[in-house]
Amino acid sequence: MKKKYIIISALVLTGLFNQSCSNDFIEVSPTEQVNVDDLSLYDNNEGATSFVNSIYAKFLDWDMSSFAWIGVTSITSDDADKGSTAGDTGSDKDILDALAFTPSTPSFESLFSSNYQGINRCNQALKYLPQLNNADTSLRARLTGEAKFLRAFMYFTLVRSFGGVPLVDHVPVLGNEEDVEMQLTRKSKEEIYAFIEKDLLDAAEALPNKSEYGTADVGRATKGAAHALLAKVYLYQKKYQLAIDQCNLVTGYSLTPTFLDIYKVSGENNAESIFEIQGSGNEKGKGIKQYTQVQGARGTGGWGWGFNTPTQSLYDAYTSEGDTERRDATIIKKGMTLYDGRVVANDADNNYYNYKAYSSAYTSQDNTDTNIRYLRYAEVLLIKAEALNELGQTSTAIPLLNEVRDRAKIANTTATTQSALRTAIWKERRLELAFEHDRWFDLVRTGQAESAMAANGKTFVVGKHEVFPLPQTFITEAKGRSAQNPNY
């Protein structure tokens, strides 16, 4: 650390808290400085809570959850094009769309550094919470569980994106050579996954069920969220029985009857919601910065920048399945009347826009009331179905897939063999979870990326594009401690 201080701004649920670190790639610009010797000022329930609130606040940042994240997870995939206009590249969104990215592509710097800034906040919370003896013991235990869940969430983003990355598991100490090595030396992806698993198992033990939170704590990590995320982590590693076991522990949730209702303000944190990032348009600085604005319709009668537009391929995938329910809740089409009565002009700049990012009340301002849905019960059903099928339990998996299809008002699957059902589940994930930041990673983990990209006019290079390039700034600073990903 460059200075011996912690930075705290205690806000309700979305406070800012940071500590500057010894390396630029995870350094955070301080906003308010409080000497460590003044930690007693936070030795109460409110102070303890502010440490963890600061972690949630990081997810509202432009770099963490907005333009770069949209580009890396959606625009790269076959679900979305860059959109906007030909002359507006969105910094590097045209490069991402063409899969022409390099270690100097800015979005990867944003993705990498913002997640380490968030991990830094988690590590600080985990360091200081045990020292706050005047805060309730049970509260500190829960907050520790939340910090571990959120740290695991960020490492899952990093390992899916880059493969092996540095494992920063505590607040670095000034001048400690081992801590310098920790921050600049990559661990294997297997080591990162093992760390994620441990954090989530600890979190599941410490966190309450969703029903045990009061209204003031809506949106916090829960036991169900820890089990659901761990099931997903196991799925990515093909640990199928462990994924099933975790899915079985996700209880107390149900599918929202009407798909479109999930993405309205009235559908936030509902019975299907397992974990979502909270955005508020009413309170300045508490919306996910420009998440709606970046993706809003552009041109005549528009309200946004027009990026991340659904592809014709995605639109046709819904149509061919007879799935108008999810299609018309996922894709805004020119000339369409939205659920709040807004009519999208026929001469908007693009044919399609992302409906899941739409905000009725705050269409054009920086801070909106849009939440990002990251874990839903529908995905748990699909994770369990996929894992069961991979273990040869196809007949047991089919009803889980059909439960998701029933909600979409489409016919039961006709798949009966393991191979056919595998394909059906993968397609269902595309239709169910479009624009929820999973498509690129799904294509890579299932081996579909090369063919899917080719069908969308892109070239996916096997042996290269399975992971993104580590930012050149990190490679330079690592000074030989960490190698770049292959073929970049």
485 vs 467: CA distance, rounded Å: 7
Angle formed at CA 452 by CA 77 and CA 333, multiple of 5 degrees = 55
pLDDT tens, residue by residue, 400-444: 999 999 999 999 999 999 999 999 999 999 999 999 999 999 999
**Predicted pLDDT at 22:** 29
Token pair for 399:
């009803």
441 vs 322: CA distance, rounded Å: 26
**Predicted pLDDT at 196:** 99
**Predicted pLDDT at 285:** 72
178 vs 333: CA distance, rounded Å: 54
β-strand pairing of 372-376 with 273-277: antiparallel
**Predicted pLDDT at 37:** 61
pTM score, whole prediction: 0.93
Half-sphere exposure of 305 (CA within 13 A, CB side): 21
Which residues lie below 8 Å from residue 53, measured CB to CB, with a gap of 6+?
A: 10, 11, 12, 13, 14, 15, 17
| Composition of the chain by helix, strand, coil, percent to 5 | 50, 10, 40
Low-confidence ranges of the chain (pLDDT < 50): 1-35
Closest CA to 57 of 9, 16, 111: 16
How far is CA 58 from each of CA 6, 155, 351, 357, 419, rounded to the nearest angstrom?
Answer: 16, 14, 33, 19, 41
Closest CA to 308 of 328, 337, 274, 332: 332
Q: Which long-range contacts (CB under 8 A, 24 or more apart) does 327-331 make?
A: 328/260, 328/355, 329/259, 329/260, 329/262, 329/263, 329/355, 329/356, 330/354, 330/355, 330/356, 330/434, 330/435, 331/355
